[in-house]
């Protein structure tokens, strides 16, 4: 059982200008303090420095309040080795074979645990958000890239190399545009916020944000509707494939783009056309918004530091986090 203690949860956004997030979290899953900062694009060193500074300020606050933080959990997009704390590759961030866990640990004198950002979000939604009533769910994160993670029987499905459940780089169009991963025509080139905005700009010769594209699509704009339907179609194809394999009861969509349930109605219809022999899952918008990543990272820190099973303790509390 998680009793007392505090940890720091960090979430490195892959969206430059949208920010990285940090929080001081207690054993009940409450956000005691929060810090936000812009995600630096310049270099790996700049990014790590910004992350260390944010964590240091949260650690200093915890120390001043007489309840020091015991560990740090970091949610990172990309391919990471959770055991070694190395970020091997992050297509949308300047991190390449970076021993991020060790660097932060040496700098802050605290145990540091890395996890995939989608896994962190899935843990949080399962414990405190949209997935509280199911044991099997899939989280799909629409941001600079498209990330995803699977909760199977209450546990993150990791696979042999820690990348199970990742759909963002499944190829939809082998002759499509080049993706940040180096491949062509990945789901990410259709359905990320960057791709949605770029595709609309190429069609309509108007530069707007992805959220505005979705709004225009809902209002009947033909160019926006075509771009949004292409994004949803790509998502529906890979989600349907994943559902056939994992048989989840729920698909939760979250990310930097604030989605409304109404905008996802076409996705539900597309899934119904693509899923036949297995049960059609519910589709919902994430309940935790931008706090999901830091809460999931904090849960990982509690658990790997031997402070208790935060994920399932928080789930049994049956409440949304405060703070």
- This prediction's pTM: 0.92
Please tell me the distance from the alpha carbon of residue 90 to that of residue 93, in angstroms, as a whole number.
5
Is the pLDDT at 320 greater than 80? The verdict is: no
pLDDT, tens digit (0-9, with 9 covering 90-100), for 228-274:
999 999 999 999 999 999 999 999 999 877 777 788 889 999 999 99
Please tell me the distance from the alpha carbon of residue 316 to that of residue 264, in angstroms, as a whole number.
29
| pLDDT cut 90: percent of the chain above it | 74
Is the pLDDT at 17 greater than 70? The verdict is: no
Q: b/e per residue, 280-297, with b = 16+ CB within 10 A?
A: ebebbbbbbebbbbbbbb
Inter-CA distances, 12 with 18, 89, 284, Å: 10, 14, 24
Beta-carbon contacts of residue 169 (< 8 Å; ≥ 6 apart):
179, 181, 183, 186, 187, 188
255: left (phi over 0), alpha (psi -120 to 50) or beta: left
Inter-CA distances, 252 with 70, 240, 282, Å: 31, 13, 8
pLDDT of residue 161: 83
């Amino acid at each position: 059982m998680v009793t007392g203690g505090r940890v720091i949860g960090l979430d490195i956004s892959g969206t430059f200008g949208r920010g990285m997030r940090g929080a001081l979290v207690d054993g009940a899953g409450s956000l005691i303090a929060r810090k936000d900062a812009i995600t630096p694009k310049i270099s790996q060193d700049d990014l790590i420095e910004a992350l260390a500074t944010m964590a240091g300020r949260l650690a200093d606050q915890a120390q001043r309040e007489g309840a020091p933080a015991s560990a740090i959990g970091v949610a990172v997009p990309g391919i990471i080795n959770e055991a070694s704390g190395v970020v091997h590759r992050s297509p949308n961030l300047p991190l390449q074979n970076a021993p991020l866990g060790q660097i932060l640990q040496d700098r802050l004198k605290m145990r540091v645990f890395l996890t995939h950002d989608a896994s962190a979000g899935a843990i949080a939604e399962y414990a405190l958000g949209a997935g509280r009533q199911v044991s099997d769910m899939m989280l799909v994160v629409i941001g600079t890239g498209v990330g995803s993670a699977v909760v199977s029987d209450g546990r993150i499905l990791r696979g042999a190399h820690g990348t199970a459940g990742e759909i963002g780089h499944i190829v939809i169009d082998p002759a499509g545009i080049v993706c940040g991963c180096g491949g062509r025509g990945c789901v990410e080139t259709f359905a990320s916020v960057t791709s949605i905005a770029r595709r609309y700009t190429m069609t309509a010769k108007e530069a707007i944000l992805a959220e505005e594209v979705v709004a225009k699509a809902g209002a009947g704009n033909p160019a926006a509707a075509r771009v949004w339907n292409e994004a949803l179609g790509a998502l529906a194809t890979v989600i349907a494939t994943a559902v056939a394999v994992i048989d989840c009861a729920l698909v939760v969509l979250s990310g930097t783009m604030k989605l409304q349930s109404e905008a996802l109605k076409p996705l539900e219809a597309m899934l119904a056309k693509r899923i036949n022999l297995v049960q059609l899952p519910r589709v919902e918008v994430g309940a935790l918004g931008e706090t999901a990543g830091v809460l999931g990272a904090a849960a990982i820190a509690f658990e790997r530091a031997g402070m208790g099973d935060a994920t399932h303790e928080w789930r049994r509390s049956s409440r949304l986090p405060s703070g």
